[in-house]
């Protein structure tokens, strides 16, 4: 009795690939640089394309800044090793500030025009300027969780028409679900469905999905800890989890969950140019914004 | 209650299935216990066709009595114990994963379930040279990590590539696809999927990611899909003599302790259950690769025995003389 595996293939594209083919596909996918070389090294190249990454942190630690940085970094031309892709930015908190994106974009353009070497790279710089960067960002403003879920439902059709999208940012996924949902079991179910949708979009359309999450306090043994919000089960949604936190006066990015990288912590800071390493030599002549005057998110 | 599905047996095609459903015959039991003349008149199908379908379905779904001695002989000849590649886990599992059974790994986020699954896949594919079917529902399967683990076991590039080719990955993201894929595999697609190689392990990472969104609330489908997937896994394990490994999430119980998810109904499905946890010895700033595994359900070992292991050094093989191997040395 022969059974066709097509029945499995037709339902949701569940085809069997060998791990060797997956390896080749992963090598082709690439990753998105964060512009912090230490964080890129810890992540083995940058944020992986085709996977869901979660960025958690307390307010003001730099989650949206990192998202804005990634939105510009994904557009770096192919000749510089970038992905030359577009980005869909789903904003639920209203934290997308156009001027700030302009600053980050200008800094990235400046950086690459200084390092452009051969003809191909110089040609690429002709079309890689602030206007083109801003025009490749699709901004979606969602006011509540219903709008967010609806947008995600419509996303596959949009992605079919726009095959150049390589990054999807949802900033933040916690805000609409914490404000408006009182029924916790419904919230958990919706979040799990959302998680599976995101994984499916990331894999099928070869997109890096970045979601930001807030922090909440958990009481355990009469001690309180700061843990990522949205519950234990949400922790399973993302493949990689990066925790941004303050350690005294330093800002530290810790990788707390990853399938291929060890748990490491690197230091970073936010400058007027964006998300950067601490003591990066290239920026030593650029003025850094002191921590007290840092722009709040 | 086995629902009638297309392709269950020759002759049961889409049109016949639809006319049977219209006559309110949904399950195998309904068809087998109905009056075939009546049905053939209602659905305008030949009596002979229905009779042969009924005979095949009876043969497929009837349980034939077997004597204990025969059962024991069969067990001895068909059961194999597959090492997980991790000596601490093997100790908990009474030397490894048993074929014909479902073993469950549960744990919170970042507790190492996927890493253990990778370790098992790499061990079976490299050391035992058998095929592995890996069903990934979370998107967590990273082939570069599999390659890293292979590189730490052998430095022969060809062997690594061959081992990677023996791991067959299905990527599904919803419960219906999971059930359909498992049913197709169980009905004989196992050999097809592995391209002819003999499959010794089927890993599903994770079952809870696709099933739990459908449980609870006013939904009816979740339980049914969960049990259908479970039945497919169990029969696959028994019929094809493979070891099935599934992963599950954890929920917080009443007393603040963690327990595996998916509820009481699922808890009867796996024969052996292990709970993985992070071990926080150092202050919370330091990262640790230590994990602890607790046996919470087993028919062979006393429960609640605990073992600790290091995610970095999972494999049995010791390459350097000191026994400790730093990860950056292993990267080539």
* pLDDT of B41 over the 80 cut: yes
Measured between CA atoms, the residue of chain A closest to residue B179 is A8
B184 Cβ contact partners less than 8 Å away, ≥ 6 residues apart:
A3, A4, A5, A7, A8
Nearest to B122 by CA among B329, B321, B317: B317
B274 and B300 belong to one structural domain = yes
B143 inside domain = yes
Note whether A148 and A142 are within 8 A (CB): yes
B173 and B94 belong to one structural domain = yes
Interface of A with B in 48-67 (CB under 8 A): 48, 50-52
B54 and B112 belong to one structural domain = no
B321 inside domain = no
DSSP-assigned beta bridge partners for residue B203: B134, B245
Note whether B261 and B208 are within 8 A (CB): yes
For residue B26, what are the domain limits? 14-61
Quote the minimal CA–CA distance from A115 to chain B in Å.
29
Interface of A with B in 231-260 (CB under 8 A): 232-233, 235-236, 239, 241, 247, 254, 256-257, 259-260
ipTM of the complex: 0.82
What CATH number is attached to the domain comprising B199?
A: 3.40.50.300
A216 neighbourhood in chain B, CB within 8 Å = none
B189 and B118 belong to one structural domain = yes
* pLDDT of B106 over the 90 cut: yes
Say if the Cβ atoms of B144 and A26 lie within 8 Å: yes
Note whether A241 and A256 are within 8 A (CB): yes
Q: Burial-class residue B328 by CB neighbours within 10 Å (0-12, 13-18, 19+).
A: exposed
* pLDDT of B323 over the 60 cut: no
B270 inside domain = yes
A258 Cβ contact partners less than 8 Å away, ≥ 6 residues apart:
A43, A239, A240, A241
Q: How many domains does chain B have?
A: 2
Task: Give the separation between CA B252 and CA A102, rounded to whole angstroms.
Answer: 45
Q: Give B314's pLDDT tier (boundaries 50, 70, 90).
A: low
B68 inside domain = no
DSSP-assigned beta bridge partners for residue A141: A91
Q: What are the CA-CA distances from residue A133 to residues A101, A103, A202, B230 (Å)?
A: 9, 11, 22, 49
Q: What are the CA-CA distances from residue B270 to residues B230, B274, B296, B303 (Å)?
A: 9, 10, 11, 15
B141 and B248 belong to one structural domain = yes
A288-295 LR contacts (CB < 8 Å, sep 24+): A291/A249, A294/A270, A295/A100
B323 inside domain = no
Residue B166 touches chain A, beta carbons under 8 Å: yes
Residue of A2, A4, A11, A16 best to disrupt the B interface, most CBs of B under 10 A: A16
B203 inside domain = yes
pLDDT at A14: 53
Number of Cβ pairs < 8 A linking chain A and chain B: 177
B91 inside domain = yes
Task: Give the separation between CA A243 and CA A232, rounded to whole angstroms.
Answer: 15
Residue B84 backbone class (left: φ over 0; alpha: ψ -120 to 50; beta: rest): alpha
What six digits make up the tokens of B138?
């979370």
Q: What are the CA-CA distances from residue B224 to residues A14, B105, B215, B219, B319 (Å)?
A: 21, 22, 10, 10, 48
B203 and B260 belong to one structural domain = yes
Quote the minimal CA–CA distance from A286 to chain B in Å.
31
B172 and B37 belong to one structural domain = no
B311 and B180 belong to one structural domain = yes
B332 inside domain = no
pLDDT at A294: 33
B98 and B53 belong to one structural domain = no
* pLDDT of B250 over the 70 cut: yes
Q: What are the CA-CA distances from residue B46 to residues B6, B42, B49, B310 (Å)?
A: 18, 11, 5, 64
For chain A, 297 residues long, give each residue's pLDDT as a single digit of tens.
333 333 333 334 457 888 888 899 888 888 898 888 889 998 888 899 999 999 999 988 989 999 999 999 999 988 888 888 999 999 998 889 999 999 999 999 998 888 888 888 888 888 888 889 999 999 999 999 999 999 999 999 999 999 999 999 998 899 999 888 888 888 888 999 899 999 999 999 999 999 999 999 888 778 888 889 988 888 888 899 999 999 888 899 999 888 888 888 899 988 888 888 887 454 444 333 333 333 333
Q: What is the pLDDT of residues B50-82, one digit of tens each?
A: 888 888 888 888 888 889 999 899 888 888 899
B145 and B293 belong to one structural domain = yes
A176 Cβ contact partners less than 8 Å away, ≥ 6 residues apart:
A92, A142, A143, A144, A145, A147, A148
B53 and B93 belong to one structural domain = no
| H or E stretch covering B238 | helix B221-240
* pLDDT of B317 over the 90 cut: no
């Amino acid at each position: 009795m022969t059974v066709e595996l097509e029945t499995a293939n037709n339902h949701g594209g569940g085809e069997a690939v060998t791990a060797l083919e997956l390896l080749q596909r992963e090598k082709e996918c690439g990753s998105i640089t964060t512009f912090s070389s230490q964080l890129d090294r810890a992540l083995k190249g940058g944020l992986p394309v085709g996977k869901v990454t979660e960025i958690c942190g307390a307010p003001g630690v730099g989650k949206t800044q990192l998202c804005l940085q990634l939105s510009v970094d994904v557009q770096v031309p192919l000749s510089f090793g970038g992905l030359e892709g577009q980005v869909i930015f789903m904003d639920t908190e209203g934290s997308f500030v156009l001027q700030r994106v302009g600053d980050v974009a200008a800094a990235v353009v400046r950086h690459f025009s200084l390092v452009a070497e051969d003809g191909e790279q110089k040609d690429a710089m002709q079309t890689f300027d602030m206007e083109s960067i801003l025009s490749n960002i699709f901004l979606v403003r969602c006011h509540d969780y219903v709008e967010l879920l609806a947008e995600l439902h419509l996303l596959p059709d949009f992605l079919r028409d726009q095959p150049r999208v390589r990054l999807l940012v949802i900033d933040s996924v916690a805000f609409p679900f914490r404000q408006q949902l009182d029924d916790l079991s419904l919230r958990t179910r919706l979040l799990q469905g959302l998680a599976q949708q995101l994984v499916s979009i990331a894999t099928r359309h070869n997109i890096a999905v970045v979601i930001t999450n807030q922090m909440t306090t958990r009481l355990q043994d009469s001690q309180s800890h700061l843990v990522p919000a949205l519950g234990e089960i949400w922790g399973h949604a993302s493949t990689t989890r990066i925790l941004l936190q303050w350690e005294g006066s330093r800002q530290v990015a810790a990788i707390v969950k990853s399938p291929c990288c060890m748990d490491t912590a690197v230091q970073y800071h936010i400058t007027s140019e964006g998300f950067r390493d601490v003591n990066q030599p290239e920026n030593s002549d650029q003025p850094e914004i002191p921590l007290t005057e840092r722009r709040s998110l | 209650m086995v629902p009638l599905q297309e392709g269950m047996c020759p002759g049961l095609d889409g049109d016949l299935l639809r006319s049977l459903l219209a006559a309110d015959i949904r399950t195998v039991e309904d068809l087998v216990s109905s009056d075939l003349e009546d049905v053939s008149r209602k659905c305008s199908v030949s009596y002979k066709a229905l009779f042969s379908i009924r005979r095949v379905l009876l043969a497929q779904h009837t349980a034939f009595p077997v004597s204990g001695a025969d059962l024991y002989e069969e067990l001895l000849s068909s059961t194999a114990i597959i090492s997980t590649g991790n000596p601490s886990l093997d100790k908990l599992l009474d030397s490894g994963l048993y074929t014909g059974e479902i073993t469950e790994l549960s744990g919170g986020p970042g507790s190492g379930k996927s890493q253990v699954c990778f370790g098992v896949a790499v061990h079976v594919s490299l050391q035992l040279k058998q095929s592995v079917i890996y069903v990934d529902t979370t998107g967590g399967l990273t082939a570069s990590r599999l390659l890293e683990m292979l590189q730490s076991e052998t430095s022969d590039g060809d062997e690594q590539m061959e081992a990677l080719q023996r791991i067959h990955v299905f990527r599904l993201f919803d419960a219906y696809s999971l059930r359909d894929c498992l049913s197709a595999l169980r009905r004989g697609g196992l050999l097809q999927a592995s391209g002819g190689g003999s499959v010794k392990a089927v890993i599903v990472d994770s079952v809870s990611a696709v099933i739990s969104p459908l449980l609870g609330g006013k939904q009816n489908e979740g339980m049914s899909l969960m049990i259908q997937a479970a039945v497919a896994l169990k029969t696959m394990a028994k019929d094809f003599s493979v070891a099935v490994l599934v992963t599950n999430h954890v929920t917080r119980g009443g007393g603040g302790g963690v327990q595996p998810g998916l509820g009481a109904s699922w808890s009867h499905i796996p024969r052996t259950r292990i709970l993985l946890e992070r071990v926080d010895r150092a202050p919370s700033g330091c990262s640790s690769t230590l994990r602890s595994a607790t046996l919470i359900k087993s028919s062979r070992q006393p429960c609640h025995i605990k073992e600790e292991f290091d995610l970095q050094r999972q494999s049995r093989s010791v390459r350097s003389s000191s026994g400790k191997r730093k990860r950056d040395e292993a990267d080539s």
